[in-house]
Structure 1
Amino acid sequence: MSKPLVSESLSDTVRSKMESELVAGHLAPGTVLDERSLAERFGVSRTPVREAVLHLAAQGLLNVIPRVGVVVPKLGIRELLELLEMLAEMEGVCASFAAKRMTIVQRAEFRAALKACRQAARNGDSKRYAGANKKFHEIIYAAAHNEWAVRQVRALRMRCAAYQRSRFDLAGRLDKSLGEHERIVAAIEAGEVARSRLAMQEHISIGGQDFADLVRGLDPNLLASG
C-alpha cells in the first residue's frame, strides 16, 4: 500500500515544480520536453513524471504529441485575448466573494499588500511590484473562500503567465495598475459586491491599445502562427 502513496507524492511534487517553472518562464511556450530529461532534472523515475505530464496536459498546460514529445503549447493572439477575458471574469468572481467574506486579519494583510504595491510603483520597481501584485491577488483568493473559483483562476493565470511576464514594464502600467488596486480595495472593504467585481474585471481586462502594446512587447516566438 505504501508504494502507490510514494508514487502519488512524487507525482504531485514533480507537477508542482513544473507548474512553478511554467509560471517563471523556465519552460517557455514552444519548448519540447522529454520524460527522460525531466526525470533526470527532478531526480525521480519516469513514472511520476509521466503522471505529472498527463495531469498538466489535462489542464491544457502541456501537449503530448506522438513522435515529438511533450510540448509547452503556444497561444495565438485570439486565444490569448479569450483567456484574458475569462481570467477577468473569474477574478471578478473572486473579488465579489471577497467583498462578502474577507476577515479582519485578511483586511490588514490586504492593506499591507496595497502599501507594498504603492511603494514599488513610487520607486518604478516593476520586479518588486510584480511580487506585491501577486500577494495582493493571493489575499483576494484566500478571502473568496471558494476553492473551485480559485482553482479556475490559478489555471487561467498559469496558462497566461508567459505572455504577461513583462506587462509591468510597459510605460505607465505601474501607476495604472496601482490606481486600479486602490479602487478594488475601496470596493471590497466597503462590502460592495457588484462594484468589487466590476473593479477587478476592469483591472484584469485588456483590450484596444493596451492589448496591442502587450502583443507588441512579446517575443514573436511565443505566439502560435496562423
Structure 2
Amino acid sequence: MALSQKQDVYETMRDRIIYVQYEPGMLIDEKEICRELGISRTPLREALLRLKEQGLVTVYPRFGSYVSEINVLDLRDLFIVKKNLDGLASELAATRMPDSALEHLTRLVDEIEPSRDNGDFKRLVAIDQQFHEAIHDSTFNKPLNDLLEVIRYRCRRGWFYFMDRIPGLQGAAVHNLAEVLAAFEKKDSAEARRAMEIHVSCFIDAFSKLLER
C-alpha cells in the first residue's frame, strides 16, 4: 500500500474516533473495517499502533483494540499542558509568521461572526483547528510541534465529546482569537502568548467546573 493510502487509513480512523463516530470503549472490529475500506490488516494495524501512541486507542493482548475511554481529570490536565505549549507556540510564531499565514488567520477570524450567527458550530470548530495549526506551523520548531501533536487529537476528541454536555464549551472554540490575531499583527510575542493562554483557559475552566459537580 502506498504511503498516501496508509495516511488515508490513519486519518479515517483518527477522525472517526475524534468526532465520536466510534464511541469511547468501543471494540474496533478490524475485520469489518478492512472489508469496508477494502484494505488488508497491515495498514489498519499500523494506523491502530499510531493511534495507540496518541492515546486514542487502547490495545489489550488477546482481546483486541478498543477506543480509549475519556477521563475528565486527564482531559483537564491535558488542556493545562496545551495552554503552556500553545502559549509558547504563539510567542515564537509572533515574530516568525509569514505574511501568508497571517492573512490566513485574518480570513479565519473574519468567518467567526457569520458562522456564529448561522449557528454553524461545526465551522467554528474547523476555524479553531485551522487557526491553531497555522500558528504551530509558523513556529518552525519541529520538537514543539511534535509535542503538540501528541496531545492535539486527545484534546480535540474530548472537546467534541463534551461540547453539548458542558455549558460554555461551544463558545470556547473561538473565544479570544481576534485578540490573538491582533498580537500577531503587532508582532508582540508577549501579548500573543497571553492572549492564547486566555483562549485555552476557557477549556480548562469548563472541565474544572465539570469536575466540581
Classify the TM-score, shorter chain: 0.7 to 0.9
Number of equivalent positions: 210
Question: Match of 1:163?
Answer: 158
Query: Where do 5+ consecutive residues of structure 1 fail to align?
Result: 1-5, 217-226
Report the TM-score when normalising by structure 1: 0.79
Question: Match of 2:86?
Answer: 91
What does the per-residue CA deviation read over 1:92-135, in whole Å, with 9 as the maximum and x for residues that have no partner? 12211210111112221111111011322344432322222222
Residue in structure 1 matching 2:178, options 157, 163, 182: 182
CA deviation after TM superposition for structure 1 residue 187, in Å: 1.4
Provide closer, same or farther for how the CA distance between residues 168 and 64 of structure 1 changes in structure 2, counting only shifts above 3 A: closer
Residue in structure 1 matching 2:126, options 126, 131, 139: 131
Identity %: 27
Question: Match of 2:74?
Answer: 79
Alpha carbons 1:8, 1:48 under 8 Å: kept = no
Regions of 4+ moved over 4 Å: 7-10, 168-179, 212-216
What does the per-residue CA deviation read over 1:14-52, in whole Å, with 9 as the maximum and x for residues that have no partner? 222211222222222211113222222221111222222
- Between the aligned partners of 1:215 and 1:42, the Cα distance in structure 2 is 39
CA deviation after TM superposition for structure 1 residue 10, in Å: 4.4
Provide closer, same or farther for how the CA distance between residues 115 and 96 of structure 1 changes in structure 2, counting only shifts above 3 A: same
Provide closer, same or farther for how the CA distance between residues 137 and 168 of structure 1 changes in structure 2, counting only shifts above 3 A: farther
What does the per-residue CA deviation read over 1:162-209, in whole Å, with 9 as the maximum and x for residues that have no partner? 32115388656666654511211111221111221121122112344x
Query: Where do 5+ consecutive residues of structure 2 fail to align?
Result: none
Provide closer, same or farther for how the CA distance between residues 101 and 78 of structure 1 changes in structure 2, counting only shifts above 3 A: same
Tell me how large the CA RMSD over aligned residues is.
Answer: 2.6
Residue in structure 1 matching 2:105, options 107, 110, 131: 110
CA deviation after TM superposition for structure 1 residue 214, in Å: 5.8
- Between the aligned partners of 1:155 and 1:26, the Cα distance in structure 2 is 21
Report the TM-score when normalising by structure 2: 0.84
What does the per-residue CA deviation read over 1:43-98, in whole Å, with 9 as the maximum and x for residues that have no partner? 11112222221222123221110232101111322211111111112211221121
Code of the aligned partner of 2:207: F
- Between the aligned partners of 2:193 and 2:55, the Cα distance in structure 1 is 27
SS of structure 1 residue aligned to 2:104: helix
Code of the aligned partner of 1:61: L
Judge which range, 116-125 or 196-205, deviates more. Answer: 116-125
